[in-house]
Homo-oligomer: A and B are copies of this chain.
Amino acid sequence: MIILGIDPGTRFCGYAIIKKENGSIFLLECDCLKLGAQKPMPERLYIFANRFEFLVKKWEVTDVSLETPFLGKNAQNFLKLGYVCGILYFLAQKYKINIHEFSPREVKLSITGSGGASKDQVSYILYKLFPRLQPGLRDDATDALAVSLCGVWANRMQRFLHQ
């Protein structure tokens, strides 16, 4: 099971790739893709699609785990998250990858034990679980790692390893 976790965004898009093998979890990659706020939307989405198609093939991803967009104050931002999700769905179907979706609350609950936890708390726990995680990562990247973990956790703690 190779899980690609995504925190969708059209400016910064966090992603993490983890592997579950014999009950252990290995971190393969965790970073943030900068899509360039000044670039036209079609160009950003093209960059996004190509990068994730590359990652899916490189790591032979079997599952995508995704934070479900929610409607905040800005409806246009919500629609833009839809653009990104549409491309992920398309790629998932193309490569026969399973998709799992989690609400932001489910992600926080799963990582910290509290659905109302702050981003800092989530990040703090992830750095404990993966001590060799590159320091100073953007929230987008750690959020993606959190959602990728949701994709493998089945409400019980597992032994963690990392590379």
Q: Which residues of chain A have a CB within 8 Å of any CB of chain B?
A: 41-43, 45-46, 49, 69, 71, 75, 78-87, 89-90, 92-94, 99
Return the chain B residue nearest A83 by Cβ.
B86
Known A-B contacts A42-B99, A75-B71, A78-B75; the reply to A89 vs B83 at CB < 8 A is yes
* Selected contact of A79 from candidates B41, B69, B87, CB within 8 Å: B69
Give the number of copies in the complex: 2
* Assembly CA distance A41 to B68 (angstroms): 14
Q: Which of these, B49, B75, B85, contacts A90 with CB under 8 Å?
A: B49
If A75-B78, A78-B75 touch, does A45 touch B89 (CB 8 Å cutoff)? yes
CB <8 Å contact, B90 and A42: yes
Instruction: Give bound CA distance, A41 to B81, whole Å.
Output: 16
A37 to chain B, nearest CB (A): 16
Whose C-beta in chain B lies nearest to the C-beta of A96? B42
CA distance A41 to B82 in the complex (A): 12
A79 to B71, CA, bound (A): 9
